[in-house]
Structure 1
Amino acid sequence: MTGYADVDGKRVLLAGTGAPAVTALPEAVLRLRYHCPNARTRVLLTRQALRFVTETTVNLVTGAESGLDEWSDEPYTAAPHVELGRWAEAVIVYPATLHFTGRLALGLSDSPLLLSLQCTTAPIVLVPSLPPGGVDGRAYRKHVEALHDRPNVAVLPPVAGYSMTTGEQNVGAPAPFADALGRLDELLRELAAAPAGDTRPVQEVR
């Protein structure tokens, strides 16, 4: 029996943004598949994430379907944000930069991923990765407060970790992927149990 019964069997979208911690995303895919062998997995990378990890790396290490979070220059054939929104039954953004967290909180929709997340009712777990001082910044606190109003969104607080810039320990590293997977499992149950039209906010896990 899996420890993540509500995630197992779901179509899970793993999105990675432009923080160094995105290098752990391929391992996260493997962990998800190990713990939830019946889940289907797709990976979406922002253009900024390609500074640290590539589609080729994801494909070679995990075999997962992957793509870039950008509008195609090809002639119009489909709406990628609609396809993403219909496909994903659960979403984990690992890691989520301060920039991405802010764009989501502000309602911006200038990429297929953001537009799909603004429109979906599927559970979304954000795992922020912040620079030194970011967790105490007014901008981050306001963004998290805004995301609290969305019943399908949960934000995992950053944890203490090593800063490659300062060489010091500070609070800003993304929470462990196992925590994100566990929160997603809980959120799936909470949403399934909520009355139709329930808009009660989901609180940040501490």
Structure 2
Amino acid sequence: MSETEPPRSEAGERAALLGVPEFGVSRLLLVATGSVSTADLPFWGTWLRTCYPDLEIMLALTRSARRFVTPTALHGRINGEVIPDTWPEDDPRALHVELAEWAEAVLVYPATLHFTARLALGLADSPALLAAQCTKAPIVVAPALPPGGVDSPAYLAHRSALAARPNVVVMPPRPGISVTTGRPGAWAPALLPHCLEALERLRDARDPGSREETDVSGAASEASA
């Protein structure tokens, strides 16, 4: 490390050692929707727990997401809790308020066109969706789209609406293979590490002091060692 480079925090050193993006968030609200890519979440959950052992995750599964992955498959793979993205019955708590206040960042991964549209239109008919509408935390949306979806007027309009929000980034989806036709044309979500990088950039842009505080803390730890 050169003398001009700021010292890394302990988490930053671990990320550099593992070759993964540095991620300064401690509490992540991860929302999974009804895309076939949701079936990959057990893999990504294990990756997150391995690379970011101090990251606490609240994973909200929509009803349609549970067609592709079960809470049982995710328990133990993330450092946190798996919850249904539904309003609890006979519970006096305001779950959406708890989620919005708890989360330092929000990642919708993967995001169906339906969920992307609901978020862009300001709908708030589930706890995670209402939390995302109300939070000031950085939000990254990683769409997974069917053939023709990426160029559809509906998606383009919703993407533009979300891009106009100061705390939201919509990740470009990746070309994929349709599980229905077996042909190219479908769109897979951006790789999860790239989404973390986008969240970190958005967090730094909205709060430049956050990284400085982390660096100062890391420097103090090194000085006292």
What is the TM-score with the length of structure 2 in the denominator?
0.81
Bigger Rg, structure 1 or 2: 2
Which residue number corresponds to residue 111 of structure 1? 126
Structure 1 counterpart of 2:5: none
Cross-structure match for 2:54: 38
CA distance in structure 2 between the aligned counterparts of 1:171 and 1:52, rounded to whole angstroms: 17
Q: Given the two structures, how large is their TM-score scaled by the length of structure 1?
A: 0.88
Q: 2:146 aligns with which of 131, 139, 162?
A: 131
More helix by share: 2
C-alpha separation between the residues in 2 aligned to 1:98 and 1:40? 27
Q: How far is the alpha carbon of 1:144 from its aligned partner?
A: 0.5
2:32 maps to which of 16, 21, 38? 16
1:159 aligns to 2:144 (yes or no): no
**Once superposed, which parts of structure 1, at least 4 consecutive aligned residues long, lie more than 4 Å away?**
none
Candidates 56, 67, 70, aligned match of 1:54: 70
Contact 1:4 1:35 in 2 (8 A): no
Q: Aligned partners of 1:103 and 1:157: how far apart in 2?
A: 18
Contact 1:58 1:64 (8 Å CA) reproduced: no
Q: 1:146 aligns with which of 161, 178, 190?
A: 161
Which stretch of the first structure deviates more once superposed, 120-129 or 63-72? 63-72
Matching residue's letter, 1:125? V
Unaligned ranges ≥5, structure 2: 1-12, 210-225
After TM superposition, give the deviation of residue 103 of structure 1 in Å: 0.2
Aligned to 2:93: 78
Amino acid corresponding to residue 19 of structure 1 in structure 2: S
User: Secondary structure, in 3 states, of the residue corresponding to 1:86?
Assistant: helix
In the TM superposition, what is the alpha-carbon distance from 1:63 to its structure 2 partner? 5.7
What amino acid sits opposite 1:52 in the alignment?
F
1:65 corresponds in structure 2 to 81
> Deviation digits for residues 3-39 of structure 1, max 9, x if unmatched?
543x335101111000010011122222222332222
Which structure 1 segments of 5+ residues have no match?
Answer: 195-206
In the alignment, is the contact (CA less than 8 A) between 2:143 and 2:173 conserved in 1?
Answer: yes
Sequence identity percentage: 47
Distance 1:9 1:98, change over 3 A: closer
Give the aligned partner of residue 197 of structure 2.
182
